[in-house]
Structure 1
């Protein structure tokens, strides 16, 4: 799934916080519940809790973050799909909940386009291809050449089947014409530690968790899964620039509400999200995680982006062998 970081996608209408038309003036009438389909304390939860007070101040009602983890985000996502379509429940959606999971699980009880209305993009976080500092290869091409000499002898860790760390490795193997052995982990920290220790040869990981080890000399960063640089990983080239084009997938996040939410309520939330993403504290947090913010990706642009993402995800999941039957 060759997903580049969208560049400043324009809103389809002028920014008006009060919404479009007199109909928006009564919304919201009570606190807005922001469902985060992940547990407390992680990057997603922390980001939502930093942004929620900013959104609440703009909306004139509190925005309450509610964690509903389970099944890789599916539990919380399903709950929002079934919520009242009045704008008072919104979802912290992601590439996984709206593109990868529907491709992996045909029996999913929600449809990412039919059951949700897009509100605003949040941002995208590229992955780093890293290897242990003791490994002999210092570039992506050297890793690729070693894998060609020894088919399936090299291994790569992932944080689970169908995750970005797995799908990116599938893309790398396809683009480079190599084969490597997949070693999935339930514990991301354990996967990274085994790469550091040399028990596994490589891994795609988020810069937030891998760059401290790169700076301390325990890991070597070989390339980014995006064409755009990120400040948290200075000097690290894209995989295309490093010699392996066609490996570009960037995990993303966005705001959604249940389908059939009144357009005026969507417009009010869209405008508040746009303003909140420009807040210095919000920007500082997200950019510190390696996220490139989508502070101008409004509802219409997000809808177009999602329509493009879903078939790409389906194709990649099929190629990875991660899809489930049923």
Structure 2
């Protein structure tokens, strides 16, 4: 092991010296990546607290990549400000391949239109590595509600505008924006009731204080399967294996109201391309692993198999899509 480390160090020193002589400082990291990356622990910044869905996913990635690299990948939780604190730290990190961000739909696509004065630009300050998972919103109501379908809900809402209260995990969250998108596409108007997280929103939905919500399987699936909530539609493109009887929102007649949260990996901008490719390749392999897929499903997600270029295109399309929804809704977060 010591001999291997010595050879790696010698190679790194040689590459650095050659780059200095030639005046090509940017070459050194790329060559070093092929010589023995990673040579030290890698930090994966997670924009959420321990125990949440982003944390669970981050720890799964860290465990899998540690095993593949033979070098530790360490999760660093940075909750707060809708993920903006973590994102700013990652944006300012050295682009040397030793800091990554677990980026979400919020941090990479919607927050820039919700928050004023952000000190980073997700499109300029990051390079996509690979998508990880997606998780569709579920349109759910209390099981005692009279609505048996999306058609029933829309019919009632049109006849009673402003009568139904829709809960969200907070103003500007993905659950709020999914509700705004649905209202725009269905031509209905709900009363928005923001909560500080999904748990209190679901509690009040179960208690009848609100009428519906657009939350994720991680928050709602157990209650639906237990008969306390009724799922009217899956807001993604396919039905959930756990709820095969529940139609997609497109099957319910509103294909433009699809709403799916997603999470992926991002390096700071200017990270050498060879390092991006190292992670891109190994994450792709991880998402083909049966045990990893099962772990994703346990936290309410499905694999999102998009490489760096495909993921970049997808993220940009999401920015365009959600910008319009946010502007129409007038949602802001101070």
Verify: 1:53 aligned to 2:63, yes or no.
yes
Q: How does 1:217-232 map to 2 (within 5 A)?
A: 217-232=227-242
Which of 1 and 2 has higher RCO (CA within 8 Å, sep 6+)? 1
Task: Name the CA distance, whole Å, in 2 between partners of 1:131 and 1:180.
Answer: 13
Which residue does the alignment assign to 1:85? 95
Q: What are the ranges of 5 or more consecutive residues in structure 1 without an aligned counterpart?
A: 1-19
Partner of 1:314: 323
- Counterpart mapping for 1:137-176 below 5 A: 137-176=147-186
1:302 equivalent in alignment to 2:311: yes
1:29 is matched with: 39
Q: CA RMSD in A?
A: 1.8
Counterpart residue number, 1:284:
294
> CA–CA distance in 2 between the matches of 1:255 and 1:229?
26
1:106 Cα deviation from its structure 2 partner: 4.1
SS at match of 2:257: coil
Is 1:107 aligned to residue 98 of structure 2? Answer: no
CA separation of 1:22 and 1:90: change in aligned 2, threshold 3 A? closer
| Aligned position for 2:11 | none
- Note the C-alpha offset of 1:323: 3.3
Structure 1 residue ranges (4+ consecutive) displaced by more than 6 angstroms after TM superposition = none
Which 10-residue stretch deviates more, 160-169 or 256-265? 160-169
- Rounded to whole Å, the distance in 2 between the matches of 1:67 and 1:324 is 22
> Structure 1 residue 196: deviation in Å?
1.5
For 2:186 and 2:321, locate their aligned partners in 1 and report how far apart those are by CA, in whole Å. 19
Residues 28 and 265 in structure 1, CA contact (< 8 A), matched pair in contact too: no
Is the CA contact (8 Å cut-off) linking 2:171 and 2:333 kept in structure 1? no
Unaligned runs of 5+ in 2: 1-29
Aligned to 1:128: 138
The two structures have a TM-score, normalised by structure 2, of 0.87
Distance 1:304 1:150 in 2: 40
Once residues 278 and 301 of structure 1 are traced to their aligned partners in structure 2, the CA distance between those partners, rounded to angstroms, is: 17
**How many residue pairs align between the two structures?**
306
Tell me by how many angstroms 1:21 deviates.
7.5
Q: 1:230, 1:292 within 8 Å by CA — same for their partners in 2?
A: no
Greater Cα shift, 158-167 or 42-51: 42-51
SS of residue matched to 1:290:
coil
Partners of 1:273 and 1:21 in 2: CA distance: 21
